[in-house]
Structure 1
């Protein structure tokens, strides 16, 4: 039997589970679930608030690159770089390497952070935020 669910509630559940997975050292599962939640939350922020967190981050990075005298990165290239790790672990196409080389913990943290920022912009109340902050404080230097 099919259930009717709001996508924001599904993304909230994914975010809560992603935090638990991070705390338990399940970084790849955290990365994929946080990535799914982030995609929904970021689009909803854009629709509801007229702000796109992805574009804001892209603009900040380009500002920093310009200040340092480097060439700006296109939005498409930035999206590809930003999504590289999550796509590497959830897709396999003909010709792809059978192994990946990523920092699992850092990629999970980055994607989870993006999801949490967008959830916070939407005023989504989600579980495990305190657990996340405690874990982050304890593991800051690892």
Structure 2
């Protein structure tokens, strides 16, 4: 098969769609996490290149002032992103034998990574897909506890 040229945002959208499908069908949560994480990163970097804020940057701007009040040293961007991406990174990388295990709620991590990726998708002004709309309905019902109304 010959090489082709791909738009990275299109690849991210495909990864996000597969992550959504896996999550909604209660399939592989670790695969949903890593695919959504890859999409979140590409979509986020695209926002940064446009001079716009990512979901993660927005969240940090809300949390940082509160964290700074309770800490002796300011809460850094690298600390914030390390904490937010800990499980995704653990599912993708291992440096030594002491990192052979990870303790986490993989389903919850996949959920919130998908939320971040979908929000970056929306911040780019891209149309939500039917799977994104299905996820949003699922989210409102199962996480927020409300019936979703269109």
What is the deviation of 1:110? 1.1
CA distance in 1, matches of 2:132, 2:11: 17
1:82-137: CA deviation from partner (whole Å, max 9, x where unpaired): 11000111112223332221011110111111111110011122420122023223
The number of equivalent residue pairs is 140
Q: Which has the higher contact order (CA 8 A, sep 6+)?
A: 1
For 2:136, the equivalent position in structure 1 comes to 133
- Checking the alignment, whether the CA contact within 8 Å between 1:45 and 1:53 is kept in structure 2 is no
Could you list the runs of 5+ residues in structure 1 that have no partner in the other structure? Answer: none
Q: Mean alpha-carbon deviation: is it higher for 55-64 or for 22-31?
A: 55-64
CA distance in 1, matches of 2:42, 2:60: 18
Which residue pairs with 2:126 in the alignment?
A: 124
- 2:112 alignment counterpart: 110
Moved over 3 A (4+): none
Cα RMSD, aligned residues only? 1.9
Q: TM (normalized to structure 2)?
A: 0.84
What TM-score do the two structures reach when normalised by structure 1?
0.88
5+ unaligned residues in a row in structure 2: which ranges?
A: 146-150
